[in-house]
Amino acid sequence: MRHKRVENTMKYIHRLEFQDPETYDVATATTIEEIKHLAQAGFKKFDEANGIHVYRRPKKYNS
User: In the chain, where are the structural domains located?
Assistant: 19-63
Report yes or no on whether pTM surpasses 0.85: no
Q: Are 44 and 8 in contact (CB under 8 A)?
A: no
Write down the pLDDT at residue 43: 95
Whether 47 and 58 have beta carbons less than 8 Å apart is answered as no
Q: What's the pLDDT tens digit per position in 25-58?
A: 999 999 999 999 999 999 999 999 999 999 999 8
DSSP state string for the chain: ---SSHHHHHHHHTT--PPPGGGEEEEEE-SHHHHHHHHHTT-EEEEEETTEEEEEEETT---
Among the listed residues 17, 63, 10, 7, the one whose alpha carbon sits nearest the alpha carbon of residue 39: 63
